[in-house]
């Protein structure tokens, strides 16, 4: 079975930082795109940051560029999302997701991701 185990999240003040982690099992880490989506109340689920070992560079949503950074620990099949300078607009349930890579392009649409982990809530207070 494919499993995505997410950890991290919590409640912070604006300007503070959090780190989310997601560990993949059941799929070769070298052959997937993996990363984070988020869904705020009343909004659609959107891609935040996505990584693939075979791709040139990670994907970042425009709203998080320069503040969030995704890194991989290939030995542990884990990606970490370092979130800095958090603001209330970052408040959402964050979901780890993965899918098999079909090319060197990282898919961005949520419908292109086959495997999902449990959500973790990030709350940023002003």
Under DSSP, the state recorded for 119 is: E
Q: Assess whether pLDDT exceeds 90 at residue 103.
A: no
- Residue 56: the pLDDT is 80
User: In this structure, how many other beta carbons lie within 10 angstroms of the beta carbon of residue 96?
Assistant: 27
Encode pLDDT of 23-55 as tens digits.
999 999 999 999 999 999 999 999 999 999 989
Q: Assess whether pLDDT exceeds 90 at residue 61.
A: yes
**Mean pLDDT for the stretch of residues 90-119:** 95
82 Cβ contact list (under 8 Å, min separation 6)? 17, 19, 68, 69, 70, 71
Cβ distance 26 to 100 under 8 Å? no
Q: Assess whether pLDDT exceeds 90 at residue 88.
A: yes
């Amino acid at each position: 079975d494919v499993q995505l185990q997410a950890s991290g999240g919590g409640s912070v003040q604006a300007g503070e930082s959090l780190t989310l982690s997601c560990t993949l099992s059941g799929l070769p880490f070298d052959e997937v795109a993996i990363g984070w989506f988020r869904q705020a109340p009343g909004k659609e689920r959107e891609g935040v940051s996505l990584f693939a070992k075979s791709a040139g560079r990670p994907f970042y949503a425009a709203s998080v560029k320069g503040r969030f950074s995704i890194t991989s620990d290939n030995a542990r099949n884990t990606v970490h999302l370092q979130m800095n300078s958090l603001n209330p607009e970052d408040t959402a349930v964050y979901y780890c997701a993965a899918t098999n890579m079909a090319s060197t392009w990282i898919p961005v649409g949520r419908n292109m991701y086959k495997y999902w982990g449990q959500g973790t809530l990030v709350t940023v207070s002003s």
